[in-house]
């Protein structure tokens, strides 16, 4: 396939799937910020808890990973994938690996979603597209927590690096 034809096919696919393309782009952005933050935060700060009744940094990372399996990407795939990450993993190495795995699991969902599939209903109500956007919103909310933790520790969050 020549380059012009490949480009034409790619553009036609994007034009044919504007809903799934938009949610994929939003997901990829927040995904990148969260992964970069998890890598950037030093190991000793994974147990940092800014107040007694809030999650540690590590628990937030584990929570994001866990919920992608349980409430968002798993149901879109039609799977009931159990994950107990937030309370069982504690080291940076374990949590970053679990986070990477959960994003890889979701990548497969977002990367292959078409608009025709996106409007399909999922068990429990709503559409696949709705769950995918809820995942983006959930991840974004927790990225906001992550930004605060990083700033308290004197680190510049990935979303504002270079500004």
The answer to whether residue 11 is domain-embedded is: no
pLDDT at 124: 82
Domain range for 152: 20-158
Averages of pLDDT over runs of 10 residues in the chain (163 residues) are 60 76 98 98 98 97 97 95 91 98 98 97 93 98 98 97 78
pLDDT at residue 71 in the model? 95
**Considering the domain boundaries, does residue 1 fall inside one?**
no
Q: Tell me if 79 is assigned to some domain.
A: yes
Tokens of 83: 């994950």
Instruction: Flag whether 9 is in a domain.
Output: no
Cite the DSSP H helix spans in the chain: 3-16, 18-40, 57-67, 73-77, 92-112, 115-118, 128-152
**Dihedral, CA atoms, 121, 126, 128, 129, nearest 10 degrees?**
130
In-domain check, residue 3: no
Domain-embedded: residue 14:
no
Pairwise CA distance, residues 73 & 106, whole Å = 5
Residue 6 counted as domain residue: no
pTM confidence score: 0.89
**DSSP codes joined into one string, 70-91:** IIIHHHHHT-------TTT--S
Predicted local distance difference test score (pLDDT) of residue 119:
97
Q: What is the pLDDT of residue 13?
A: 53
d(CA 129, CA 22): 10
- Name the residue with tokens 């590590």: 58
Q: What is the CATH number of the domain that holds 140?
A: 1.20.120.450
Residue 86 lies in a domain: yes
Domain total of the chain: 1
What DSSP character marks residue 121?
A: B
């Amino acid at each position: 396939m020549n380059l012009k034809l490949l480009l034409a096919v790619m553009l036609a696919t994007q034009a044919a799937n504007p809903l799934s393309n938009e949610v994929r782009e939003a997901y990829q952005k927040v995904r990148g910020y969260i992964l970069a933050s998890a890598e950037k935060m030093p190991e000793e700060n994974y147990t940092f808890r800014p107040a007694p009744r809030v999650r540690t940094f590590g628990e937030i990372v584990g929570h994001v990973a866990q919920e992608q399996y349980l409430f968002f990407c798993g149901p879109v795939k039609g799977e009931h994938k159990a994950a107990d990450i937030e309370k069982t993993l504690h080291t940076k190495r374990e949590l970053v690996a679990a986070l990477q795995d959960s994003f890889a699991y979701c990548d497969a969902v977002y990367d292959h979603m078409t608009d025709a599939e996106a409007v399909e209903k999922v068990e429990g109500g709503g559409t696949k597209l709705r769950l995918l956007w809820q995942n983006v919103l959930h991840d974004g909310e927790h990225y906001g927590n992550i930004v605060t933790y990083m700033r308290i520790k004197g680190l510049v969050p990935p979303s504002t690096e270079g500004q």
